[in-house]
Structure 1
């Protein structure tokens, strides 16, 4: 026999690599949430205001004004965060 593979050791090593990758993904997601907390909170406030105004029968122009409170760069950051969160959801 030229060589022998210890399958248990290979499985342990692969499992350890998976755990490390999972930890890194979760850590990165938490970092993004913390780093962009102000923008996320602002988006939630704007959404709450818009829902309240819709319930009161506000016009589309008024709703558009509320939505404009979030600047295009902030909107891009929010889209990136949402995309990353969708990609890292675990079933």
Structure 2
């Protein structure tokens, strides 16, 4: 069993995120899409500096998602763990 290595990325759940300003460039928002869902999550208002950090790649995507979409990321982590357990159970069968 120790020789089995599971590549989590092989059964990962797609996650996309974006940031965008309002028309005046005063208020900023972030939006996320999980598992290729077309409608995505509700947008969350963020501050300008956070948006700049994200645009400049100074924060990792999953770290960003954990901060602004914590419930969705909890579901994501649970789904990954369930898939991993199911795969291990199939391999042990």
TM-score, L = length of structure 2: 0.30
The structure carrying a bigger helix percent of its residues is 1
Structure label with greater radius of gyration: 1
TM-score, L = length of structure 1: 0.30
The higher relative CO (CA closer than 8 Å, separation ≥ 6) is in 1
The structure carrying a bigger strand percent of its residues is 2
